[in-house]
Structure 1
Amino acid sequence: MTDVLIGRTRGNRWSPGRILRRLPWWGAAVVIGIGGLLWIYPFLWMLGASLKDPLEVFTSGLSLLPKHAEWGNYSRAWGDAGFGKYLVNTVIVTVTTVVLVVLRCAMSGYVLARHQFFGRKIVMGILIATLFVPTGYTIIPVVEVSQRLGLLNSLTGMVLALSGGAHVASVLLYLGYFRQLPRELEESAVIDGAGFLSIFGRIMLPLANPVTATVTLLTFLGTWNAFFLPLVFTFSRPDLRTLSVGMLAFVGENSTDWSGMAAAASISLLPVVVLFVVLQRYFVEGIAGAIKS
């Protein structure tokens, strides 16, 4: 009797009523799957193009798999086009910029969230107003100041230019997160004799690890893919180019090395993908925590 009941239960699992009730979920899964495939297809096509010869890139159409893998495209991009040096420059600029932005935005968000001072609302209004200022409008004063300081053709000037912006989104993320923390944390620290820097560095900043991961990822993506400022800062110093600017090496007067460019793009995207896989959980937690507040 038990076997019969189990058999009926298993049989009813695929009954027409159950199928009709689950049909919307299956439909949603199919739609999400198709959308995901359309979203990831250009990335897969780029990986396939990086292993094709220049002629096959145009003759293969939408095909992803190359007829014969041309691994020489990667060696040409790494050595001949100088992407080994560009990668080092990009890592130096990106890591330094991320550290400066995280420290500056964390401290700014902490002060705006936990301290009341004269002109606080004015400062917040100015920060929010900068969201509506296009980046192209600030390039001229940035270049002018960098030139007068003797930093125009250097990695130091590039780092200061990339990290010296308002970064309002990052400040607001820290502000929202610090605002929801209980006041008792600071009060107990003050009783123990801790000062401003001790409270911020030893208590508040470690608690904001999810937001720090979010800001790190956002700043990393923005700096790693930056093109306009690094292009201006390396006009007369091609050896200081970053990966995004180095893509111009594959564009000639009469032709473009598309397979080499695809290989170079694949190299430049690998660190971004790895970082996102590592920090994706903290990225979601940081966004959710800031919005919840």
Structure 2
Amino acid sequence: MIARLSPKRIVFGDHAPTLRITLTSVILALLCLVWIYPFLWMVSTSLKSNMEMFANPGLIPQDFMWDNYRRAWVEANMGRYFFNTLIVTVGSVFLVTVSTAMLGYVLGRYRFPGRTTFFIAFVATVFIPQGFTIIPVFELLSMMGLSSNLFGLTLATSGHAMVVFVVLFAGYFSQLPKELEEAARVEGVTFFKIFWYVMLPLARPMVVTVVIMQVLHAWNDFLLPLVITLANPAIRTLSVGIYAFKGEQSIDWTGMSAAATISIVPVVILFVLLQRYFINGLAGAVKG
């Protein structure tokens, strides 16, 4: 009897991992459908007329209204807002990546008096709501004469949420071997060159992680650009421009959906292309 039962156990044991993988895949696929349904609904609505949006609840439009995208891009000035957002995003990504990488390198690799106190005070600022800092930021930009141009908006966008990036860089740099710096110092390499040519290239996954997170923040930020662009609507970003589809008496849902699709597609493409580096960067920072 044992000889007869053992093959069945072996067969069952061989199929058990496959069954678990299949069930896990099915469950995850269902969860993914739940998560991506709003995105699919948005794309579907962007291709419908306002009347069909309420009459046809399905995801497949009866008549594909591609004119909604032309109307959003040209008539609603989403083309100008797109390039405004691109300028602000690229500028803030450069400023944030360089500054947080240098600060994270110092905090992660060096020990100096007051380091712990500074680090705690620095991290504590992450608990301050953005709404409390908008007025001081706007006043500072006004004093500098930058409250109504894209450069001022770029600086303001670069100053928010930097704490998280510094902590991630500090955790990543702290796990790198000290022998790299010691060998560079023996060769007479300066502090800045050690950081720029030795340590920063090794932190490429972390750099990509910070780039993706800052792109998401700068591209989707709404409250700060809304306040800064009140005096100059020409420098509006996409998120503020999409809000303009909401009127006092009605809402242009199809135009808003088309504008939102234009806004979100570049971010989705960027994340799909760089997701491997994003995951590796977070894993390395947590490990460190």
Short-chain TM bin: over 0.9
Give the letter aligned to residue 31 of structure 2. Answer: G
Q: Where does 1:44-63 land on structure 2 (aligned, <5 Å)?
A: 44-61=40-57, 63=58
Deviations 1:24-53 (A, max 9, x none): 443322221111111111101111111000
Q: 1 CA distance for matches of 2:12 and 2:185? A: 67
Q: Does 1:264 align with 2:283?
A: no
Identity percentage over the alignment? 50
Match of 1:191 among 186, 190, 203: 186
Equivalent in 197, 210, 213 of residue 215 of structure 1: 210
- The 8 Å contact of residues 127 and 166 in structure 1, kept in 2 or not, is answered as no
Give how far 1:105 is off. 0.4
**Structure 1 residue 131 and structure 2 residue 126: aligned?**
yes
Distance in 2 (alpha carbons) for counterparts of 1:41 and 1:34 = 11
Q: Which residue of 2 aligns with 1:3?
A: none
Aligned equivalents of 1:214, 1:110: Cα separation in 2: 16
What is the CA–CA distance in structure 2 between the aligned matches of 1:206 and 1:183, rounded to whole Å? 15
2:239 corresponds to which residue?
244
Give the CA deviation at 1:140: 1.3
Distance 2:45 2:120 in 1: 47
The separation in 2 between residues aligned to 1:16 and 1:185, in whole angstroms, is 52
Q: Secondary structure at 1:250's aligned position in 2?
A: coil
Residue 183 of structure 1 aligns with an amino acid whose one-letter code is: K
2:102 is aligned to: 107
AA aligned to 1:226 is: D
Of 112, 136, 143, the residue aligned with 1:141 is 136
Give the conservation status (yes or no) of the 8 Å contact 1:98–1:219.
yes
Deviations 1:102-140 (A, max 9, x none): 000000000001112221111100121112111111111
Deviation at 1:165, TM superposition (A): 3.2
Of 172, 175, 178, the match for 1:180: 175
- Aligned CA-pair RMSD: 1.6
**Number of residue pairs matched?**
279
- Alignment match, 2:269: 274
1:200 aligns with 2:178: no
TM-score, with structure 1 as normaliser: 0.91
Contact 1:52 1:70 in 2 (8 A): yes
C-alpha deviation, 1:19, in angstroms? 6.0
More deviation, 22-31/162-171: 22-31
CA distance in 2, matches of 1:166, 1:251: 28
Aligned to 2:4: none
TM-score (norm 2): 0.93
- Find the counterpart in structure 2 of residue 6 from structure 1: none
2:250 aligned to 211, 232, 255, which one? 255
- How far is the alpha carbon of 1:20 from its aligned partner? 6.7
Alpha-carbon distance in 2 for matches of 1:195, 1:279: 32
Aligned to 2:222: 227
Q: Where does 1:70-81 land on structure 2 (aligned, <5 Å)?
A: 70-81=65-76
How far the C-alpha of 1:17 sits from its partner, in A, is 7.7
Tell me the CA shift for residue 22 of structure 1: 4.9
Counterpart for residue 3 of structure 2: none
Cα offset, 1:169, TM superposition: 1.1
Q: Which residue of 1 aligns with 2:28?
A: 32
Q: 1:258 to 1:166 in 2, by over 3 A?
A: closer
Structure 1: stretches of 5+ with no match in the other structure = 1-11
For the pair 1:41 / 2:37, whether they are aligned, the reply is: yes
- In structure 2, stretches of 5+ residues that fail to align are 1-7
Whole-angstrom CA distance in 2 between matches of 1:126 and 1:87: 37
Deviations 1:154-176 (A, max 9, x none): 11111111112351111111101
Contact 1:158/1:233 (8 A) holds in 2: yes
